[in-house]
C-alpha cells in the first residue's frame, strides 16, 4: 500500500490579523507562552483606535480612548512596554457630572452622592430604591427598556441615557442587553445597589483598578509594544486573502503568502468580513451588517479649573456635545479638555469641516463651563465605536471553521482592558 505524503508543516503556528490593542496584546501573550506567531497590520502604525498626537506646550491629543483602567492585564502590557514609570494615575473618587437643565449636576456613584444629587427628585429616588421589587432584567430586552422598567423614566433620562448612551454614542433603547451590556444580567445577582454599579460599568469603572494615562499619550503603549515585537509584527501589510490549505490556512499579503495552523482575526467588522469571505461566507455576511458609530474628538485648552472626570450631556439638551473629559483634573495636563461629538444621532459629524467642529466645541464648552477655550486638535473618526444595537443580533448564529477565531470588540467588550482579557483567553486556548 502506498504511503501518504507527510503533512506540510505550517510556516507559523498562529497568524494574527490586525495590530490594534487586541492584536498587540495577543502577540505579547503568545510570545510569553512560547508560541510562534506573526501579526499583520494593514496600516503603517500599530494600536488601532489608541492613538495620540503630541502638541506644542506639553498637551497631548488623545484621538481614541482618553484613559485606561490599570487591570492586571493592562499593567502587564505597560511593564512589557517599559512604561511603568510614565504612568499618570487619576483619583478614582473624582465626581462625574451630567449637564441637564442648563448646569452641571453630580452623577451618583455612591449612596451619599445619590442622596444629594439633584438629577433625581425624591419621588424618582424612591422609584430607584424600589428596584429590588421589579422583575429581573431579560437578555432579550434593550438596555433602555430594562432601565426604565427597573429604575423609572427619570433615572433613565437623566443618568443612564447620557452616561451609558453618550459613552457609546448610541440610543440605549436600540441596544439589546445580551450584546450591549451582558454584565447587567450578572450584576443583578450581586449584592449592593444596581444603578451605581451600572453607571460605573458604563464609564469603565470598577471596584479596584485606577484610571491611568501615560506621559506623552496612550499611543506610546502600542508604539513600544510594536517595537518590542518587531520580529513578529509586519506593518503596512494588509491581508488580501485567507484560504484553506488542508488543515491549515494560507494568509496572503502584498509581500507574499504564508501558512498558519491557526488564524485570529482582530480587525473591525468590515475588514474582518472581507478577510473571511472565502473561508466563512456566512460569518462574513453577518459581520458586514454590524453598525459602528462615528466620532469627532476635539482637544481644547482652557483656563477652566474644575475637579472631576468631566461631564456627559443629557440627550434632550440643545447641544451637539456628547461629553467632555477633564484631563487637567485627571492627569495634570494643565488646561486640557477633550470633547466628543457624533454617534448615531449625529453621523454627519465626520463629514463636517474640522474648523466648524472646533467652533461648536468651544461654544458649547463655554456655555457649560463659563470659561473660554481654544481648539488645539480636531480628529474625525468614521465607524470607530461599536453601536451594540440591534444589528448585533446577526452574531447570534455566527459560526467559524476550525482554526479561525475572532477576537475584537464585536465578540467581547469595548475598551483596552476587555481587549487584553480577550487576547489572554485566546492565547490560553491556542497554547
Q: Are residues 328 and 191 in the same domain?
A: no
Note the pLDDT tens digit of each residue in 241-292: 999 999 999 999 999 999 999 999 999 999 999 999 999 999 999 999 999 9
Q: Is residue 348 part of a domain?
A: yes
Q: Is the pLDDT of residue 201 over 70?
A: no
| Inside any domain, residue 74 | no
The model's pLDDT over 369-401, given as tens digits with 9 standing for 90+, comes to: 999 999 999 999 998 889 989 998 888 888 999
The pLDDT score that the predictor gives to residue 189 is: 61
pTM across the whole model: 0.91
Whether 213 is covered by a domain: the verdict is no
Is residue 192 pLDDT above 70, yes or no?
Answer: no
Is 377 within a domain? yes
pLDDT of residue 139: 85
- Mark whether 314 and 260 lie in a shared domain: no
3-state SS, residue 400: coil
Question: What is residue 431's predicted lDDT score, i.e. its pLDDT?
Answer: 81
Which CATH number does the domain housing residue 338 bear?
3.90.660.20
| 285 and 138 fall within a common domain | no
Report the distance separating Cα 20 and Cα 15, nearest Å. Answer: 14
Radius of gyration (C-alpha) of the chain in whole angstroms: 23
DSSP class of 383 = E
In angstroms, the CA 248 to CA 208 distance is 42
Judged against a pLDDT cut of 60, whether residue 7 lies above it is answered with: no
Does a structural domain hold residue 68?
no
Domain co-membership, 369 together with 422: no
As for how many domains the chain has, the answer is: 3
Q: What is the pLDDT of residue 413?
A: 80
pLDDT of 11 reads 82
The arrangement of strands across the sheet holding 103-106 comes to 103-106, 96-100, 310-313, 323-326, 336-342, 292-302, 373-386
- Do 198 and 232 reside in the same domain of the chain? no
| Shared-domain flag, residues 283 and 420 | yes
DSSP label of 267? S
Whether 190 shows a pLDDT value over 70: the answer reads no
Q: Is residue 198 part of a domain?
A: yes
What pLDDT band is residue 5 in, cutting at 50, 70 and 90?
very low
Mean pLDDT of the chain: 91
Distances (CA, A) of 268 to 65, 172, 278, 285, 307: 16, 22, 17, 14, 35
Does the pLDDT of residue 2 top 70, yes or no? no
- Name the nearest CA neighbour of 201 among 145, 154, 143, 157: 143
CATH number of 174's domain: 1.10.3110.10
- Asked whether residue 235 falls in the same domain as residue 112, the answer is no
Residues 377 and 404 in one domain: no
User: What is the average per-residue pLDDT within 169-187?
Assistant: 83
Q: Are residues 169 and 317 in the same domain?
A: no
Distance, in Å, from the CA atom of 244 to the CA atom of 332, rounded to the nearest integer, reads 52
Q: Which structural domain range is residue 337 located in?
A: 291-386
Amino acid at each position: 500500500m502506498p504511503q501518504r505524503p507527510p503533512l506540510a508543516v505550517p510556516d507559523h503556528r498562529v497568524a494574527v490579523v490586525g495590530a490594534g490593542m487586541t492584536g498587540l496584546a495577543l502577540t505579547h501573550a503568545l510570545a510569553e507562552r512560547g508560541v510562534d506567531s506573526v501579526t499583520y497590520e494593514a496600516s503603517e502604525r500599530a494600536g488601532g483606535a489608541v492613538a495620540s498626537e503630541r502638541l506644542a506646550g506639553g498637551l497631548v491629543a488623545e484621538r481614541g480612548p482618553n484613559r485606561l483602567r490599570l487591570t492586571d492585564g493592562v499593567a502587564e502590557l505597560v511593564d512589557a512596554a517599559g512604561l511603568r514609570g510614565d504612568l499618570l494615575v487619576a483619583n478614582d473618587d473624582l465626581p462625574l457630572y451630567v449637564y441637564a437643565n442648563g448646569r452641571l449636576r453630580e452623577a451618583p456613584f455612591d449612596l451619599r452622592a445619590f442622596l444629594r444629587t439633584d438629577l433625581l427628585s425624591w419621588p424618582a429616588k424612591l422609584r430607584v430604591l424600589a428596584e429590588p421589587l421589579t422583575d429581573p432584567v431579560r437578555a432579550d430586552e434593550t438596555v433602555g427598556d430594562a432601565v426604565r422598567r427597573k429604575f423609572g423614566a427619570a433615572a433613565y433620562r437623566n443618568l443612564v441615557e447620557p452616561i451609558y448612551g453618550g459613552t457609546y454614542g448610541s440610543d440605549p433603547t436600540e441596544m439589546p442587553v445580551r450584546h450591549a451590556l451582558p454584565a447587567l444580567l450578572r450584576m443583578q445577582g450581586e449584592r449592593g445597589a444596581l444603578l451605581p454599579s451600572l453607571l460605573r460599568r458604563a464609564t469603565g469603572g470598577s471596584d479596584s483598578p485606577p484610571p491611568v494615562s501615560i506621559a506623552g499619550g496612550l499611543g506610546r503603549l502600542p508604539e513600544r509594544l510594536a517595537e518590542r515585537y518587531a520580529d513578529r509584527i509586519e506593518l503596512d501589510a494588509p491581508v488580501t486573502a485567507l484560504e484553506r490549505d488542508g488543515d491549515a490556512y494560507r494568509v496572503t499579503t502584498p509581500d507574499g503568502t504564508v501558512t498558519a495552523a491557526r488564524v485570529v482575526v482582530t480587525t473591525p467588522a468590515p475588514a474582518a468580513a472581507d478577510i473571511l469571505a472565502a473561508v466563512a461566507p456566512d460569518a462574513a455576511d453577518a459581520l458586514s451588517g454590524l453598525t459602528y458609530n462615528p466620532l469627532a474628538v476635539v482637544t481644547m485648552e482652557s483656563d477652566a479649573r474644575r475637579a472631576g472626570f468631566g461631564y456627559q450631556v443629557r440627550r434632550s439638551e440643545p447641544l451637539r456635545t456628547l461629553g467632555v473629559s477633564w484631563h487637567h483634573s485627571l492627569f495634570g495636563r494643565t488646561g486640557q479638555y477633550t470633547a466628543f461629538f457624533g454617534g448615531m444621532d449625529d453621523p454627519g459629524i465626520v463629514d463636517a469641516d474640522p474648523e466648524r467642529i472646533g467652533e461648536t466645541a468651544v461654544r458649547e464648552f463655554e456655555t457649560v463651563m463659563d470659561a473660554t477655550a481654544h481648539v488645539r486638535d480636531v480628529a474625525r473618526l468614521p465607524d470607530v465605536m461599536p453601536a451594540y444595537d440591534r444589528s448585533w443580533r446577526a452574531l447570534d448564529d455566527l459560526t467559524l471553521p476550525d482554526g479561525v477565531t475572532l477576537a475584537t470588540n464585536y465578540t467581547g467588550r469595548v475598551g483596552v482592558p476587555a481587549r487584553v482579557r480577550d487576547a489572554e483567553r485566546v492565547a490560553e486556548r491556542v497554547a
